[in-house]
Amino acid sequence: MSEETEAKAEAEYFCKDFEWETLKQEIENNPSCQYHLLPFTSPPSPSQQEAVQESEDSKAWQRFHLCHSSGKFFKERRYLLKEYPELVSCKEFSKVLEIGCGNGSSVIPILRGNKDIIVYACDCSSETLERAKEIVHSTNIFIVQNRFHPFFCDFAFTGFPKWLVCDSCKEIFSLKQQQCSAEGGVADKSGLYLSRECGCCIGGVDFVTLIFTLSAVPLKRMPTAIMECFSVLKPGGLLLFRDYGLYDMTMLRFEPEKRVGFREYMRSDGTRSYFFCLDTVRDLFVGVGFVELELEYCCVKSENRRKGKSMQRRDDDEEEEEEKAILVVKEEAFDPN
């Protein structure tokens, strides 16, 4: 086998171990899984009660990260640069906004894979951010001190701080997007026309990464959260999304009483997960102005070497947040055609 073939096979391990349609047929024909397919009608809640629940959602994730603050719970996501080579091939000093960074499992491979990239990373847990700093700074990554900037932000509820991109820059972004759409122009990948860092903000970011973060946001809050992502991206910037796909093994483990919405579940610790199909992702992102570049299921086979078992989705002894049947998306901030 040639080096090129080996490299291709290694990359494909993370996306095409099995066909999602085969999984879909298996699940939908399984009587024990039928409750996952049923419609869900939730009683209307007063706005005050919804506000309380939103606050509890954030607190649940903060408690979760406190319980898993050692940094051993999440494995380093080494597949990121294979799925998103743009993070390696981008221009010097490109800026990435990593949302829901946790202990840094996505930040580390990005910083290690590109010595010129700058990562701004946010999370809703201050304790987790401190742990992420410790973990990232303990690595041997090239000049990490000047390229890793963690900050507290619960983006789905409070939005992003103005220092990421100010209102003036947002207006410039909007005008450029409208101009490109009107002229049928091509995205300026050099970024020469984009705003630079100034006294009020850093001028937006070139990439936004949403890696197993959006599924933790209540479904009704997702459009607002995605719009926030759109607002901080420079025109032509990329949003890179990877999250739980419909019929992931994690979904199938949930008992009927854990359902809090259609394809939406809440764990006993109060953290929630939504499981995406392609149409839902497309509607959510295109609905706020993104243009779809790539959208597909990523199907990964999980192997438990200790028990000698191989499964299409996941094994009970795998780490709680190990990803299996998932979605991979690349979205661009405006239409280049």
State residue 327's pLDDT score: 57
Residue with tokens 């391990």: 13
Residue 172 within any structural domain of the chain? yes
**What does the alpha-carbon distance between residue 16 and residue 173 come to, in Å, rounded to a whole number?**
37
What is the span of the domain harbouring residue 124?
75-332
DSSP string, 13-75: TTTBSS-HHHHHHHHHT-GGGGGGTS---PPP--HHHHHHHHHHHHHHHHHHHHHTTTS-SSP
State residue 195's pLDDT score: 43
Percent of the chain with pLDDT over 70: 74
80-84, 184-188, 194-198: range with lowest mean pLDDT: 184-188
Residue 111 within any structural domain of the chain? yes
Residue 41 within any structural domain of the chain? no
Residue 13 within any structural domain of the chain? no
Q: In the predicted model, is pLDDT for residue 56 greater than 80?
A: no
* Residue among 302, 319, 298, 305 at smallest CA distance from 14: 298
**What does the alpha-carbon distance between residue 61 and residue 57 come to, in Å, rounded to a whole number?**
7
Q: In the predicted model, is pLDDT for residue 9 greater than 50?
A: no
State mean pLDDT over 79-94: 94
Residue 4 within any structural domain of the chain? no
Both structure tokens of 208: 């936004």
Residue 67 within any structural domain of the chain? no
Residue 74's pLDDT band, with cuts at 50, 70 and 90, is low
Question: Contact, 298 vs 267, CB < 8 A?
Answer: no
Number of residues that make up the chain: 337
Both structure tokens of 60: 């649940």
**What does the alpha-carbon distance between residue 37 and residue 29 come to, in Å, rounded to a whole number?**
11
Question: Contact, 217 vs 154, CB < 8 A?
Answer: no
The kind and range of the H/E element at 149 are: strand 148-152
Instruction: Say how many domains are in the chain.
Output: 1
State mean pLDDT over 112-118: 95
What SS3 class is residue 331? Answer: strand
Q: In the predicted model, is pLDDT for residue 280 greater than 50?
A: yes
Q: Between residues 330 and 33, which one has the greater pLDDT?
A: 33
Q: In the predicted model, is pLDDT for residue 316 greater than 50?
A: no
**What does the alpha-carbon distance between residue 295 and residue 288 come to, in Å, rounded to a whole number?**
16
Q: In the predicted model, is pLDDT for residue 183 greater than 90?
A: no
CATH number for the domain spanning 291: value is: 3.40.50.150
245: which DSSP letter?
Answer: B
**What does the alpha-carbon distance between residue 238 and residue 330 come to, in Å, rounded to a whole number?**
7
Residue 337 within any structural domain of the chain? no
Q: In the predicted model, is pLDDT for residue 314 greater than 80?
A: no
The kind and range of the H/E element at 179 are: helix 167-183
**What does the alpha-carbon distance between residue 241 and residue 51 come to, in Å, rounded to a whole number?**
27
State residue 112's pLDDT score: 93
Residue 117: which region, alpha, beta or left (left: phi > 0; alpha: psi -120 to 50)? beta
Residue 24 within any structural domain of the chain? no
Q: In the predicted model, is pLDDT for residue 301 greater than 90?
A: no
Helix 222-232, helix 278-286: angle, nearest 10: 50
Q: Which residues pair with 261 in a beta bridge?
A: 264
Residue 189's pLDDT band, with cuts at 50, 70 and 90, is very low
83 CB neighbour count, 10 Å cutoff = 19
pLDDT digits (tens, 9 = 90+) for 29-50: 999 999 999 999 876 666 555 5
